[in-house]
Amino acid sequence: EAETFTIYFNVSTTDDKAFTITPFDVTVKEDYSVDLRVPNSVTKKDAEPGQTVNFEVLLKNTGNAIDGFELTLTSAKADWVEEWGVGSALDKVVDDVGIDVTKTMTVKIAVAENAPAGDQTFTIKATSKGDEAVSDSITLTVSVEPRRDVELNCAEQTKEVVPDVDLEYTEVEYDVQVINKGESSDTFKVQVLDNSVSKPKAVDSATWSNITKTDHNFKVVLSKTVTNSIPKNGQETITITVQVPKDHYEPATHKTVIWAYSEGDTDADDKYSDILILQTKVKQAYGANVLGDDYIKTKEDTDTNKLYAVFTSRVENSGTGVDDFKIEVDETSLPDDFDIYFSTDMGATYSVSAPAMTNVGAGDEASVLIKVEAPIDTLTGRYNFRLRWLSRGDDSEWNAEKDYVTSWKEMTIEVDQVYGVSIDPNTEEQDVEVGNTIQFKLTLENLGNDDDTFRMEVKEMDDTDNWASLSKTKVTLDAQGKSANDKLEITLTIRVPKDNEKAIAGNYRFNISVTRDSSNRFEREKAKDFTIVSVNVKEKYSHDLSSDDDLKDADVGERVSYRFKVINKGNSRDNYELKVKGERKEWAELSTYFLTLDPEEEVYVYLNVTVPLLEQDPFDTSFPYVNDPKDVEAGRYAFDVEVQSRGDKDSDPVTLTFTVDVQQEFRVFIAEVEEGDSLPNAKIWDVNNKREDLKIRFTIENQGNKDDTFYIKKYTAPTGWDILVVPDHPRVPLGEQREITVTITFSQTSGFEDGTKSLKFDVWPDDGSVSGRNAKQTVLLYVNAQVPELEITQIDVPKGSDLSKGNPVDIKVTVRNSGKADAEDVAVSVKIGGETITTESQDIRNGSEKVFKVKWTPKSTGDFTIEASIEGNLIELDEDNNEKDIERSISAFNLKNYLSYGTLMIILIVLAVIALIIIIGLAYNRNKEIRELEALVDKLKAEGGAGRGGPRKVIKEAAGAPMPPKSAAGLPSAPGALAPAPTGGKLQKETQGKKEAVKVKCPQCKTQQVVHIDKRPAEVPCKECGVTLLIPEKK
């Protein structure tokens, strides 16, 4: 250190007896010195633009005195220096630094983002305060590396793809440009950013958590994961291939996220690009698998004398949505006389047109029968044609160039036979599920030169128990080349047991051998062959549904139940979810919706279906009902019960369809009656004056649950009424109405019934069943038909001397109307001999009478019958009383021509006195005659029988009858006794020709009717029901 030191010199004798001490002063001068250095001598560091570099510089006082130092920093990039100085205060002046004391200086340099590549120096100088001439400096160097940056670009970041269902995956390619945005050439790594990628050290956690990741686990193939060296602003294109697997062919959008980065010296120095999101939009996949027979042997149709082969071609929709398919057949390789027909209804009908199958759901199948007909004399052999199925795709056109089309499938028709022997399977190994049956097609060919018979045998080489069976074990084949029958296809059927314990997953082999059919071993050895096939029994989840009854009838308002069995066919316990689907799934309810079953375990589940009522039940308002009968229209309703395995959620659910055949509910309602609906409102109809038919309408409504035809029954009409119902078998749609017209035509028959009548009509469904008849509704129409009742009550013709040849007289005919209606334009015709005289017309009001007059001049003498009849086409109660006749004699002598008026008056007075005497004589015995007449009637009743249906005798006294016969004493034989009626005379004609109209009511069917009888008592049949009606005597 700089200071003054005193040095003492001691000089003495050898024996130290004499000495002397001399002091000397030595002064050390101040020497100032400083040293700057960095630990480990690292004065140069590399950095990228945007990075921060930290240096630590040590300041040491290497002088011999306490000193202070002034610090300076110089650099062309001094603005990069964020902070520097000694200690936490970043001092630029340091005082009182002891000797050999070291101070630490911090230098923090932030490289600018746009910093050019190259070295940048930063010089720090420490100058001693004790001696400004003393200083030390150190240069720090930051070597700026070229700026690294990368950008990804894709012209088509979103692509749509229609998956190819024939491939296990569908590839979508994206061309991505890797662009070097840095300052120098660089190599970049490209990486798919998914959940398996860990956060890079160069990316902070907040940024990392906000970065979108790939949302799928598809395989993504990069044509390169490391680019070539790309110059500044240059680019390189790499191909990103996204492989969409088959189990993700459903329509969806998938994101694939990639980025690129430039590697730094450490992971923390890596430079990453922004992410690039590639979107793959998977559209509906269209595809199909052709299933079914491809080889059929012909059969003989004895009815048509042709050979035929029927193939079942099934198309399976291997796409991801509903699609339509059309079958195409190439028959160019078939002979011209072969014909092909198609059927979509299991062979019920065939057509020459190739059909299209519509609305085939994903995974569902549709089938077509293909019938090939050939002439009966077709040579043996094989004949081929091809078929394929075409998808309609996403438009309405069939386009094989644009839409999906399957490969042509070769179909073979065998018209066959053969000799030889070789046996070859169509495949040597197949996979099979537990409980399934699989078949191998074994081609057996006769390789000999003559017809031969062969026996086949199958041996099970592993632990199986009668799994295998051959469709044939003995066959006879023609010689090779002789005909098409030189080979034969045999079916080897492998039936894997349903019991999982008997069908352990693994490979099972079967040896199929064929030898000639001979008891001689040497002969058998001449023709023999064998082949080995195997099956792989896989382990998988499987279940099955079964039901003994999937179709039931149900009436409206009825509950029906179905029982079905769920069986676990798999190899492990499984859980199942049950659902009901269908147009009327709200009717259905399951006894359970979730099941857990062990292998081979089975359980019964019940499906309960309630058919709603057509209207609310007033006694049970909770019972379901509909407001619109169309919602429970009669017909079949399907309920699909789906059972989905939860162990294998990707498998299709097993579906069992139950059908409820809702029976027809017969209901008819009389919605409206136009008029005449009750007795007080009876339709009044003046039959003759209206001169037209009466029409009454009523409306019926079908309130059942199905379109229906109704039968309208009319009962026996009153006499003179002809009733027509139109329509009488109306077809009425469900919930609609139909107007019925009843037309009544009135006509004169054997009498006419007037007054108010009830016309009965029954309306019921024209079904014939008991339920149909029970739905009957009755309509009563009341009609008051009013007609006149005309009767000729009297014909007045002069008598005696007033009637003589050539003397004109007046004939008066009295007509009475006792009916309920007026009679208009009534005329009377009088027929005498061959002459007919017609009066003028008159109107006769009901309850009145009119006199009609005609003038007649007799042209000859003799007896004449004067017949009067009512003219006009009138309808009335009884037309049998519209005629009356009277007889008169015409003489050539007329007293008036020879006697005076006074003489004639005298004669008339004398004749009147004589008549008076006769009348008094008749009255003398009147009482006695009446008593005898009554006794005689009683006797006749007793003799004729008074019981119902027995004969009746009626005794009438006709006007002008002869006097009673005399007894032996010259007096009447009995008081009141009647004389015998003359036979063949006028009286007999008048009494026998007139019938009596009687109105009766049948006690059985309650109908009123008018009957006509000749006499009383009488028995007549009822016109409606046929029961015998008794007409008693008049009281």
DSSP letters, 233-270, are T-EEEEEEEEEEEGGG-SSEEEEEEEEEEE--SSGGG-
pLDDT at 380 over 80: no
Query: In one letter, which amino acid is 956?
Result: K
Under 8 Å between Cβ of 517 and 474? yes
Under 8 Å between Cβ of 171 and 219? no
Q: What average pLDDT score do residues 376-387 get?
A: 84
Least confident of 455-464, 495-504, 581-590, 615-624: 495-504
The pLDDT assigned to 924 comes to 58
Q: Where in 574-648 does DSSP place strands (E)?
A: 574-581, 588-590, 594-597, 602-610, 635-645
Q: Which residues contact 553 (CB under 8 A, 6 or more apart)?
A: 560, 660, 661, 663
Asked whether the CA dihedral 130, 132, 135, 141 is positive or negative, the reply is positive
The single-letter DSSP state of residue 800 is G
Under 8 Å between Cβ of 602 and 567? yes
Q: What average pLDDT score do residues 326-352 get?
A: 92
Under 8 Å between Cβ of 752 and 877? yes
The pLDDT assigned to 1035 comes to 61
- Residue-wise DSSP of 210-222: TS-------EEEE
Rounded CA separation 50/113 (Å) = 4
Specify the higher pLDDT residue, 671 or 603.
603
Least confident of 12-16, 211-215, 687-691, 967-971: 967-971
- Residue-wise DSSP of 278-328: EEEEE---B-EEEEE-SEEE-EEETTTTEEEEEEEEEEEE-SSS-EEEEEE
Q: Can you say whether residue 435 is alpha, beta or left, with left for phi > 0 and alpha for psi between -120 and 50 degrees?
A: left
Specify the higher pLDDT residue, 413 or 4.
413
Q: What share of the chain is helix, strand, coil (3-state, %, to 5)?
A: 10, 50, 40
The pLDDT assigned to 925 comes to 58
Specify the higher pLDDT residue, 675 or 1004.
675
| Topology, domain 288-415 | Immunoglobulin-like (2.60.40)
Rounded CA separation 762/940 (Å) = 47
| Topology, domain 790-893 | Immunoglobulin-like (2.60.40)
484: tokens are 């098409």
1008 C-beta neighbours (distance < 10 Å), count: 15
Q: Is the peptide bond before 624 cis (omega within 30 degrees of 0)?
A: no
Say yes or no: domain 668-786 is CATH 1.10.3720.10: no
pLDDT at 860 over 50: yes
pLDDT at 314 over 90: yes
Under 8 Å between Cβ of 340 and 321? no
The pLDDT assigned to 270 comes to 84
Q: Which CATH class is domain 543-662?
A: mainly beta
691: tokens are 């001169």
Q: What do you get for the CA distance between the two ends of the chain, in Å?
A: 182
Under 8 Å between Cβ of 871 and 816? no
Rounded CA separation 438/37 (Å) = 89
The pLDDT assigned to 869 comes to 93
User: Per this entry, what is the length of the chain?
Assistant: 1035
Compute, in degrees rounded to 10, the torsion defined by CA atoms 225, 229, 231, 233. Answer: 0
Rounded CA separation 254/215 (Å) = 6
CATH code of domain 150-282: 2.60.40.10
744: tokens are 């009544």
Q: How confident is the model at residue 954 (pLDDT cuts 50, 70, 90)?
A: very low
Could you tell me whether strands 551-554 and 654-662 are parallel, antiparallel, or unpaired per DSSP bridges?
Answer: parallel
CATH code of domain 422-538: 2.60.40.10
| pLDDT per position as a tens digit, 136-153 | 999 999 999 888 889 999
Give the per-residue SS3 of 975-1021.
CCCCCCCCCCCHHHHHHHHCCEEEEEECCCCCCEEEEEECCCCEEEE
Q: Which residue has the tokens 């039940």?
A: 617
pLDDT at 359 over 90: yes
Rounded CA separation 936/974 (Å) = 10
Q: What average pLDDT score do residues 255-271 get?
A: 88
**Average of per-residue pLDDT values in the chain:** 85
Q: Is the peptide bond before 1021 cis (omega within 30 degrees of 0)?
A: no
* Among 957, 952, 959, 958, CA closest to 1014: 952
Adjacent-strand bridge partners of 282 = 161, 252
Rounded CA separation 98/63 (Å) = 9
Specify the higher pLDDT residue, 841 or 953.
841
Q: Which residues contact 444 (CB under 8 A, 6 or more apart)?
A: 421, 422, 423, 454, 456, 475, 477, 487, 488, 489, 490, 514
Under 8 Å between Cβ of 513 and 455? no
* C-alpha count within 13 angstroms, C-beta hemisphere, residue 62: 13
666: tokens are 């017969």
The pLDDT assigned to 943 comes to 52
pLDDT at 261 over 90: yes
The pLDDT assigned to 970 comes to 43
800: tokens are 């005696």
Same fold, 288-415 and 790-893: yes
The pLDDT assigned to 973 comes to 41
Rounded CA separation 1030/1002 (Å) = 10
* Among 314, 321, 312, 260, CA closest to 285: 321
Adjacent-strand bridge partners of 291 = 314
Q: Which residues contact 133 (CB under 8 A, 6 or more apart)?
A: none
Under 8 Å between Cβ of 102 and 57? no
888 C-beta neighbours (distance < 10 Å), count: 20
pLDDT at 305 over 90: no
The pLDDT assigned to 768 comes to 67
Could you tell me whether strands 252-262 and 276-282 are parallel, antiparallel, or unpaired per DSSP bridges?
Answer: antiparallel
Phi, psi values for residue 212, rounded to 5°: -70, 135
pLDDT at 945 over 50: no
Compute, in degrees rounded to 10, the torsion defined by CA atoms 608, 611, 617, 619. Answer: -20
The pLDDT assigned to 908 comes to 81
Under 8 Å between Cβ of 762 and 778? yes
Three-state DSSP state, 52:
strand
pLDDT at 212 over 60: yes
Under 8 Å between Cβ of 102 and 58? yes
| pLDDT per position as a tens digit, 801-822 | 678 888 899 999 999 999 888 8
Q: Of all helices (H) and strands (E), which one includes residue 106?
A: strand 102-110
Query: In one letter, which amino acid is 952?
Result: R
Under 8 Å between Cβ of 60 and 35? yes
* Among 671, 674, 780, CA closest to 736: 671
| pLDDT per position as a tens digit, 710-727 | 999 999 999 889 999 999
824: tokens are 């208009």
* Among 194, 201, 197, CA closest to 255: 194
46 C-beta neighbours (distance < 10 Å), count: 15
| pLDDT per position as a tens digit, 835-850 | 899 998 999 999 999 9
Q: How confident is the model at residue 752 (pLDDT cuts 50, 70, 90)?
A: confident
The pLDDT assigned to 932 comes to 62
The single-letter DSSP state of residue 43 is -
Give the rounded distance of the alpha carbon of 488 from its chain centre: 46
Query: In one letter, which amino acid is 386?
Result: R
Say yes or no: domain 34-144 is CATH 2.60.40.10: yes
The pLDDT assigned to 676 comes to 87
Q: What average pLDDT score do residues 477-487 get?
A: 83
Rounded CA separation 97/393 (Å) = 91
* Among 111, 121, 140, 45, CA closest to 76: 121
| pLDDT per position as a tens digit, 973-1018 | 444 443 343 444 333 434 444 678 787 878 777 777 778 888 888 8
Q: What average pLDDT score do residues 876-885 get?
A: 84
How distant, in Å, are the alpha carbons of 921, 922, 1009 from that of 926? Answer: 9, 7, 40
Packed helices 901-924 and 926-944: angle between N→C axes, nearest 10 degrees = 60
Sketch the domain layout of the chain as residue ranges: 34-144, 150-282, 288-415, 422-538, 543-662, 668-786, 790-893, 902-994, 995-1035
Q: Is the peptide bond before 1017 cis (omega within 30 degrees of 0)?
A: yes
Three-state DSSP state, 450:
coil
Q: What average pLDDT score do residues 468-484 get?
A: 87
Rounded CA separation 724/740 (Å) = 10
302: tokens are 């004895």
The pLDDT assigned to 416 comes to 55
Percent of the chain with pLDDT over 70: 90
Asked whether the CA dihedral 25, 29, 30, 36 is positive or negative, the reply is negative
The pLDDT assigned to 449 comes to 64
